[in-house]
Amino acid sequence: MALLQISEPGMSTAPHEHRLAIGIDLGTTNSLVASVRSGEASTLADENGEHLLPSVVRYLENGEVIVGTKAQAALGSDLQNTIASAKRFLGRAVSEIKTLAGQLPYDFVETEGSVPQIQTCAGNVTAIEVSSEILKSLKERAENTLGGELKGAVITVPAYFDDAQRQATKDAARLAGLNVYRLLNEPTAAAVAYGLDQKTDVDNKVIAIYDLGGGTFDVSLLRLNKGVFEVLSTGGDSALGGDDFDHVIAEWLLTESQQTATQDEFLLRAAMLEGRRAKEALSDTAEVDVSLGEWQGTFNVEQFNALIQPLVKKTLMACRRAVRDADVAKEDIAEVVMVGGSTRVPYVRQLVGEFFDRPPLVDIDPDKVVAIGAGIQADLLAGNKPDSDLLLLDVIPLSLGLETYGGLVEKVIARNTTIPITRAQEFTTFKDSQTAMTIHVLQGERETVEANRSLAKFALRGIPAMVAGAARIKVTFQVDADGLLSVFAEEESTGVKTSVEVKPSYGLSDSEIEGMIRASMENAKEDVEQRRLREAQVDADRSLEALDSAMAADADVLLSEPEKQLLLDARVELVTAKNSENADTVKNAIKQLEKAAEFYVARRMDSNIQQAMSGHNITEFES
């Protein structure tokens, strides 16, 4: 009898076939694609030998779409139809977009579907569609260079991208015809590119990744232990980067030349382009000539450093929080890796080195390092290195939980938990005969619903009618390797279940992300007191409902009028206390009601026993 070989699901039947896979760094300013060829990971160049693809897309009236350098050349002349920095708009509302980086030269439209669109001469487009054009161009470059059909891609995202921003990135990739193996956090990709997973001297030590790109900033602390990269903590700002350096220089140019760009979009764009040119020149020289219109002047390193100092210090504040969240000391950090084109600025390298008390690693081109790491990971996921023991473990940036009765939040997965993760928790009903339950999914660090961000609501129906607290509803949170959340709810006695994949329309703004974490620390004591109060109020509601239910059933039979009034007076006192702002007051009122109702509880128990035994002989109950 012949033995037939069966391959693993999704894997090739040809064991030695090299599967073409790519890593893509979808950047705010520039994007790159990388792949592993002949055992070496490298970025792929276009027909002109250029590795960087400017993340700029231009739309023409005839429907033609131009991507990259040619589109970038039109930034100064065709503002409305030339879209740059689309990554900053992914997963955001119009109100958030307009506060990202001062004035923007685009006209945004909020459609019925709540997805912001940008007006162009070729029609309205979303940030997802703009990003997909960049990804299509990189995909075509890779197929032409590698000479075959791609099996899949790893696409990098800032570690602080939330569900909405990650989902928008995946949507753009699907629109471009790419099979996404996974989304990979940019700092983790950088560590892979430096081969830190292969260095024995950093095994079980902490590595800091400082990633300052064109439009986003991330800092991550990783620990490598026998081939496993574990992200200890993440931090950053999804709306801070080299574009902001350009912006402060542009404002300086406008002030020095005594010009205003409030109503002049072309002047603002010209100032931004000149600011970028000056910034890049000052990486290699101490002074540069600048001009804006007819005005001419000079701009030096000292002026530049003074302008960007508040922005760089903002990144160091995020570094300090990440170190604290990871519960490590700065002297425990073995390496600091610099990632992103904006880390070429000498002043950035200087301040980062001073903060971590060690010179950062800058050996690999900071523009290419993320794409190279993504290429290595794509090669692994394609199955080209089955013997590799490299494993990447990322974390979620904010806690995930559910609303419970009284407006409280029960955290199911805590912030900085390693993903992928599946975690379940049991809940129950609050009222008698409750046959449905609303599952309200929340994100954040506070104790009450109103202080956190709502992600989704869905209903579980068909719960058997039981007394309060008898039903057992198992709620399962599942976060995949891309950081996307699914929630499942099941009533265990009947098997009734429902689920939702959480895809919020918009992401959190940078100030909201930072603010949620800071607020949880600043209000920790108040939150504990607020939770005590809410829990006491929930207990009060239970006591009131139990009393009302009992009195409606048999108060006329078991109680005299004075006894009824005694219980009603205690009830009024509890209702009054429940509306106070003191948990101890509420708890004392509950105890007073329970004490007042002790005789009533005893009578009800005696009455129930008598009813149960009525018509039976005592010997029937003997064993």
Q: What is the pLDDT of residues 376-388, one digit of tens each?
A: 989 988 877 765 5
Q: Quick one: pLDDT at residue 468?
A: 76
Query: What confidence tens digit (pLDDT) does each residue in 78-92 have?
Result: 888 999 988 888 887
Catalytic residue among 211, 218, 367, 490: 211
- What value, to the nearest 5°, has the Cα angle with vertex 57 and ends 53 and 62? 135
Q: Would you list the domain boundaries of the chain?
A: 21-241+307-394, 396-522, 525-613
* Greater pLDDT, 515 or 341: 341
> What is the mean pLDDT of the segment spanning 549-570?
82
CA distances from 428 to 411, 431, 514, 547 (A): 16, 9, 34, 21
DSSP string of 81-140? Answer: TEEE-GGGGTT--HHHHTTSSS--SS-EEE-TTS-EEE--TT--EEHHHHHHHHHHHHHH
**21-241+307-394 against 525-613: fold identical:** no
Query: What confidence tens digit (pLDDT) does each residue in 128-154 have?
Result: 899 999 999 999 999 999 988 899 999
Catalytic residue among 171, 186, 447, 490: 186
Catalytic residue among 25, 197, 246, 490: 25
Q: Is 46 a catalytic residue?
A: no
- pLDDT tops 90 at residue 287: yes
Contacts of 105 (CB under 8 A, 6+ apart): 79, 80, 265, 268, 269
Residues linked to residue 59 through DSSP beta bridges, in sequence order: 65
Most confident of 42-51, 324-333, 460-469, 571-580: 42-51
Q: What percent of the chain has pLDDT over 70?
A: 82
CA distance 216 to 574: 53
What is the number of residues in the chain?
Answer: 623
Pick the CATH number of 525-613 from 1.20.1270.10, 3.30.413.10, 3.40.50.300, 1.10.1300.10: 1.20.1270.10
Contact 188, 158 (CB under 8 A): no
Residue 600 in 3-state DSSP?
A: helix
Contact 601, 546 (CB under 8 A): no
Among 486, 473, 374, which residue's Cα sits nearest to residue 421? 486
Contact 215, 241 (CB under 8 A): yes
- pLDDT tops 70 at residue 452: yes
Q: Is 186 a catalytic residue?
A: yes
- pLDDT tops 90 at residue 420: no
Question: Is the four-CA dihedral 13, 19, 23, 26 of positive or negative sign?
Answer: negative
Residue 202 per-residue DSSP state: G
Query: What confidence tens digit (pLDDT) does each residue in 156-183 have?
Result: 988 777 777 888 898 899 889 999 988 8
21-241+307-394 maps to which CATH number? Answer: 3.30.420.40
Contacts of 376 (CB under 8 A, 6+ apart): 23, 36, 41, 192, 193
> What is the mean pLDDT of the segment spanning 408-423?
79
Pick the CATH number of 396-522 from 3.30.160.60, 2.60.34.10, 3.40.50.720, 2.60.120.10: 2.60.34.10
Catalytic residue among 46, 87, 136, 237: 87
- pLDDT tops 90 at residue 426: no
CA distance 535 to 405: 9
Two tokens at 555? Answer: 């108060």
Two tokens at 17? Answer: 């076939």
* Greater pLDDT, 394 or 161: 161
Q: Quick one: pLDDT at residue 509?
A: 43
Residue 501 in 3-state DSSP?
A: strand
Q: Quick one: pLDDT at residue 479?
A: 82
Report the chain's mean pLDDT, rounded to a whole number.
Answer: 81
Q: Quick one: pLDDT at residue 448?
A: 78
> What is the mean pLDDT of the segment spanning 95-108?
66
> What is the mean pLDDT of the segment spanning 407-422?
79
Q: Is 87 a catalytic residue?
A: yes
Helix axes 524-558, 598-613, angle to 10 degrees: 50
CA distance 126 to 110: 10
Contact 59, 49 (CB under 8 A): no
CA distance 342 to 366: 8
Residue 410 in 3-state DSSP?
A: strand
pLDDT band at 1; cut points 50, 70, 90 = very low
Residues linked to residue 100 through DSSP beta bridges, in sequence order: none
Contact 207, 223 (CB under 8 A): yes
| 123 Ramachandran zone, left/alpha/beta (phi>0; psi -120 to 50) | left
* Greater pLDDT, 325 or 471: 325
Amino acid at 152: G
Q: Is 367 a catalytic residue?
A: no
> What is the mean pLDDT of the segment spanning 207-223?
86
- pLDDT tops 90 at residue 230: no
Contact 414, 399 (CB under 8 A): yes
Q: Quick one: pLDDT at residue 393?
A: 54
CA distance 165 to 11: 30
Instruction: Determine if the peptide bond prior to 420 is cis (ω within 30°).
Output: yes
* Greater pLDDT, 580 or 28: 28
